[in-house]
Each structure stands twice: as structure tokens, then as C-alpha cells.
Amino acid sequence: MQEKIEALLKEINETVVESAEALEAYQRRFTNKKGLINDLFAEFRTVPGDVKRVVGRPLNELKKRAYDRLQEFQQQAKRATQSADRPHDLTLPGDPHVAGARHPLSIVQNKIISVFERIGFTVAEGPEVEDDWHNFGALNFPDNHPARDMQDTFFVEREPDHLLRTHTSSVQVRVMENNDPPIRVLSPGRVYRNEAISARAHCFFHQVEGLVIDKDVSFADMKQALQYFAIQMFGKKAKIKLRPSYFPFTEISAEMDVWWGLETQDDYRMTKGSGWVEIMGCGMVDPNVLANCGIDPDVYSGYAFGMGVERIAQLLYRVPDLRLYSQNDLRFLKQFAKMGG
């Protein structure tokens, strides 16, 4: 009996079923009422006890194996008929197609642009890999001047003169080199700095730069444009304050704060107890910069400003950590889905 069991096991293992007929034949031969497995069980009942003890287990295993194989063949057959008769099951529910949403930085960048577009600015873009002249030299950063240390630069190893732009002020230079005044442009884009990544610093971020060059442009013109911007961005009650500052490419230079308020603990934290938050650098374009770019400083003057998009987004949406902008966490991004932009 043991031999019979072994022979059947071998046969079952070697059987290949590739058609409905073969499946039927398998069932007839092995698993049907009148099949060989049942025959063996009938025989089992007639053998003496000591034989039973030896063959009981292999016999049960054989039966299990035969039925496992049967199930395998049946599933295989089902798959085959499904894919042959109904290549597409039109009754299945569709895959959900979730509409994406704009990234908060795009929303804010577009907002900034649309505010300035309303007062006549157009958009100009420039390369992210810049040469030293456009990022520093033309902007009045002398060689080895410590002002270059204000911005930790990534240099391109194989091209010593090239670097990842540290600010979008580089686009100012390109615009002035290639256009005659009047100039009224906005330059949005990504910039890079060699900083350790933390909640407050990142090795890349985004800026929007503004530049206005014409005859008789004054500091008061700049102030008015920036106040208009603050009101459009932060609401009717927005107040601005210009503090003296230093940038190599502007003379005079300032930093602009907007009034944030000092009502809650959060306000205290955000404003370091002052009620004001800094949102941009600005100033009158240094005459050296105009001359470097082929514009006569005796005829023309102008102002420039530059702001961080992440910073503005942080203020508008209370984003507590810069890293959230680039982690692609849908739980964060989905919150901006209804904010348009």
C-alpha cells in the first residue's frame, strides 16, 4: 500500500493541467468519489492495525496534496477564462483619480507676482547655475570682500567660476545688461546656500526679486510700492517699517518689517517680542551696479527688493518648519488644496 501511495504522490506532483478537459480528467482520476484517493481509503479500512499505523499519515498527506493541487488547477483555469473572455471587467469600480493641488510655495509665489503685476511689473527668469560676475561681481561684491561671506556659496567643482546662485539678484544684472530702462521686473526662482538643514534653514529656498529702473526713481517710490504690496498680501491694516541695513548692491539699503501684532504668545514668539516681522531687503540700486550693467547712473536711478517665498508662506500659513516644504508629505500639502493660486 505504501508503494501505491508513493506512486500516486509522484503522479500528482507531475501532472500538468492546461485545459478544462485535463482538469476534469484529474478530478476523475484522483479526487472524485470514484477516484483513486477514495479507493485507497477504502483499502485502508481493510488492512491490519500495524499497517494502518505506518500508512495512515502518508495517506492523509497524499489526500491533502491531491486537493491542494486541484485547487491550484481550478484557480489557474479561472484566471485563464477571465483573461480570455473578459480582458477588462467593466463592472469593477474605477481607480480613484485624485486631483493634485498647488504647492504652498507656488501659491505664495503666484500671489506675490500677481500683486506686482497689477502695478506694471513683468516676470524675468535667469539660470540657477550662475557665474561669479552675475551673482557677485556685477552686484558690487569685490573679490575677497567679506560681504561674500554673508552667503555660503555652493561652487561648481569643475568650473571654478560657476556656482549655484545664492540669490535671484543675479537676474537683475542679466535684465539690466540686456534691456534699456524703463525696467520694471520681478524675478522669482530657487536659490541655494550651503547651510545645515534645520527647521529654520535649508540648502535651497525661493526668492522673488524686484527691480525698477527709470529716470527720477526715488526711495519714496519704493516705499509706496512696498506698502501697497504689504497691504495686498497681509490685509488692509498692514503697517510697514523700513530699518537701515547693508547690502553691497544697494545704497541706501533697508530691511522691511510688517506689523504682526503682539496679542498672543505666538505673536511674541514669532516677532521676538517686538510685534514686527522682517519680510524683505531693499534699497536704491547702487550706482556702481548700474554702471557695471551698462546703465548710466547719472541719468537713471532705481530701487530693488528681494524676499523669501518660504518666509512669506510661513507668515501667511503659520508653517512652523522649513523642511515641511520639501518633504512631500500629503498631509501637509493637502491643506493647501483649496487655497488656489
Instruction: Give contact residues for ligand DAH (rule: CB under 6 A).
Output: 167, 169, 209, 247, 250, 281-283, 304-306
Closer residue to ligand DAH (CB): 26 or 305: 305
DSSP 34: T
Distances (CA, A) of 85 to 23, 80, 263: 19, 9, 70
Cell output for 100: 493634485
Shortest distance (Å) from residue 138 CB to ligand DAH: 13
Q: Which residue bears the cell 514669532?
A: 270
- Closest approach, Cβ 155 to ligand DAH, in A, equals 17
Spatial separation of the C-alpha atoms in residues 309 and 287, rounded to whole Å: 28
Cβ nearer to ligand DAH, comparing 74 with 153: 153
What is the closest distance, in whole angstroms, from the C-beta atom of residue 188 to ligand DAH in the complex?
13
Report whether 12 contacts 30 (CB < 8 A): yes
Distance of closest approach, residue 268 Cβ to ligand DAH, in angstroms: 26
Distance in Å, CB of 130 to ligand DAH, minimum = 13
Residue 63 or 167: the one with the smaller Cβ distance to ligand DAH is 167
Question: Which is closer to ligand DAH, CB of 36 or CB of 212?
Answer: 212
**In this structure, are residues 8 and 36 in contact, taking their beta carbons and an 8 Å threshold?**
yes
Q: How far is the CB of 333 from ligand DAH (least distance, A)?
A: 26
* 3-state per-residue secondary structure call for 123-167: ECCCCCEEEHHHHCHHHCCCCCCHHHHHCCCCECCCCCCEEECCC
Asked whether 168 and 306 are in contact (CB, 8 A), the reply is yes
Identify the DSSP state of 30. Answer: I
Alpha carbon distance 138, 293 (integer Å): 7
Q: Nearer Cβ to ligand DAH, position 104 or 283?
A: 283
Q: Which is nearer to ligand DAH, 111 or 193 (CB)?
A: 193
